Amino acid sequence: MPKRIIFPRKGEVVLEDFELPALQAQDVRIRTRYSLMSIGTETTILNQRYDADSHFAERFTFPQLKTGVQAVGYVEGIGSEVNDLKIGDRVFMRMAHGSHQVIPASECSLIPDPIDLKQACWCGLAKTAFRAAWAGNFSSINQVLIIGAGPVGQMAVRWASALGIQSILINDLSSFRLEHAVRGGATSTVSGAIKSQVERLAKINRINEIPTIVDTTGNPEVLQHALAAAPMFGKIVMLGDTGYPNRQCLNSNFMSKGLILQAVHDSHDLGGWTQQSIDRKFFSHLIEGDFNVSGLITHDFSPADCTKAYQLAKNSKENVLGILYDWSTTK
b/e sequence 70-92, b meaning 16+ C-beta within 10 Å: bbbbebeebbeebeebeeebbbb
300 and 240 in a common domain = no
The CATH number of whichever domain residue 186 belongs to comes to: 3.40.50.720
Instruction: Tell me how many degrees the CA angle 226-231-232 measures, rounded to the nearest 5.
Output: 125
Distance CA 45, CA 39 (A): 10
The answer to the question of residue 287 being in a domain is no
The answer to the question of residue 285 being in a domain is no
What is the bridge-based pairing of β-strands 235-238 and 260-263? parallel
The CA–CA distances, whole Å, from 200 to 22, 186, 192 equal 58, 18, 11
Among residues 245, 263, 281, the one where a domain terminates is 263
Distance CA 34, CA 32 (A): 6
Residue 246 identity (one-letter amino acid): N
245 and 199 in a common domain = yes
The answer to the question of residue 280 being in a domain is no
Among residues 263, 287, 314, the one where a domain terminates is 263
Total of domains in the chain: 2
The answer to the question of residue 286 being in a domain is no
Q: Which residues contact 18 (CB under 8 A, 6 or more apart)?
A: 1, 2, 3, 4, 98
Distance CA 132, CA 240 (A): 10
15 and 116 in a common domain = yes
Give 326's strand partners.
34
Rg (CA), the chain: 20
In tens digits, the chain (331 residues) has pLDDT values of 999 999 999 999 999 999 999 999 999 999 999 999 999 999 999 999 999 999 899 999 999 998 999 999 999 999 999 999 999 999 999 999 999 999 999 999 999 999 999 999 999 999 999 999 999 999 999 999 999 999 999 999 999 999 999 999 999 999 999 999 999 999 999 999 999 999 999 998 888 888 899 999 999 999 999 999 999 999 999 998 899 999 999 999 999 999 999 999 988 888 889 999 999 999 999 999 999 999 999 999 999 999 999 999 999 989 999 999 999 988 6
According to DSSP, residue 177 is labeled: H
According to DSSP, residue 159 is labeled: H
Sign of the four-CA dihedral 307, 14, 101, 17: positive
143 and 55 in a common domain = no
- φ, ψ of residue 270 in degrees (nearest 5): -115, 155
Distance CA 91, CA 155 (A): 20
The CATH number of whichever domain residue 305 belongs to comes to: 3.90.180.10
Q: Structural domain of residue 211, as residue ranges?
A: 125-263
The answer to the question of residue 54 being in a domain is yes
pTM: 0.95
The answer to the question of residue 290 being in a domain is no
The answer to the question of residue 274 being in a domain is no
Among residues 241, 263, 285, the one where a domain terminates is 263
Give 171's strand partners.
147, 190
The answer to the question of residue 137 being in a domain is yes
